[in-house]
Structure 1
Amino acid sequence: GKESLSEALLAISGKLKKEVNPKACWFAVEKDLHDPQCRQRHLVVELAKKLPGRPWTDAQPFHDQMFNRQAFNWTQQQEALNTGELSSWVSLRPGRRRDVEDPFVTSRSWLCNELEQGQSREHVYFRVVLEQKKLDEALEKIPYYRLFGADTSTRFFKLFIRGDESSPILLGELGGEVVPDQTTLELTKVTREVEGHRIKGTTETLPC
């Protein structure tokens, strides 16, 4: 009902304890992917941290509303501070940010060295071995979780570097059907024996 909706909106309104990057925030009304008939809708709000990569450790992201009341402008200085805070508000555009809005950071020809693939009884795996130096350079510009992107359906898969989506790392039709919402993407490392090394058993650890 209207009352429950108002309470829900009030619960996600207030002064945040941590700063965000307003220009990178967005909101959208989206379909519930777990609803077979896609009749349900959800309001999705994404706030971009001003300092990405650092966790917000507080369970409650907002200041206590009881002690966050609007101050009366006793002086011109207080009035100027309140006016400045209001003028810093940014009106968000509805809809998710598109991948094409991501800045160019690196390309697949610089970053990607090898492609390995395999499968188990339940999963199909793709491993892209990366160039450590180029990866370090890329991570100086953006956090690791904004470097790669992936799109998948039951039969098609696309893996790309954000900001260079027009040159995907992988793109094609799969040999069978998969479950899109159970597909995962992670940045990790692999340790393996160096082929052709004069000392047998020599290993190397590479990002992938």
Structure 2
Amino acid sequence: MADTDTETLPNGTGPLSAEDEERMKQRPADIDADVREMERRKRVEALMSSKLFREELERVLDQQMHEGNDAPLLQRIREMVGGRLHTGSLRGPSCVLPINDIRGIEGVGYEKGEKILRCKLAAVYRLVDLFGWTQSMSGQITARLNTAVEQVLTTPRGLLPHEVTASSLVKVDMQGVVQDQGTTNFPVNVEGFSLHASVHAARPDVRCVLHVRS
């Protein structure tokens, strides 16, 4: 039996029908180019969203800078991809960190409600920074996920308000035990959180507790 070649759809779902094949032949070349570019961007997005890739890239950059290999160029590379490197390293003030930095495959691990709440809480921290309510780093803002679970989002110790992003927030229970570390290795200020935990425990209807010093 002679072998026959079959053409598959761009998304790899199966062979093309005669009608689909004819339609693809009539499709303008610029649309084909756009489709290929979209597929390429998806692959790049998946790669850049990989935690292992980010950690390896950080390691290589640190090693090369330590060896003195063109430090300015390496620093520019770090800043160019800095919005995707969430390994706990703080970047310089010249880089504006996105509030919603949960993209690609990273977002799969969060329910829609939690992702939205993370973005809202990170936005509140930016407002605190904007209004200058940052006299002391001892201030803290927490948000309860919902009334059904005793879990709260808070910030790790060591991040300034303008450095807080959706993915860097830490999820803890009412005792301050970490349930989701987020994208930094910084610890939680358990002593400061105890005040917030008391409020959240006594008032499950309160979604957000804000404690700042201006």
Q: Normalising to structure 2: TM-score of the pair?
A: 0.25
Scaled by the length of structure 1, the TM-score of the pair is 0.26
- Larger % of helix: which? 2
Instruction: Determine which structure has the larger strand proportion and give its number.
Output: 1
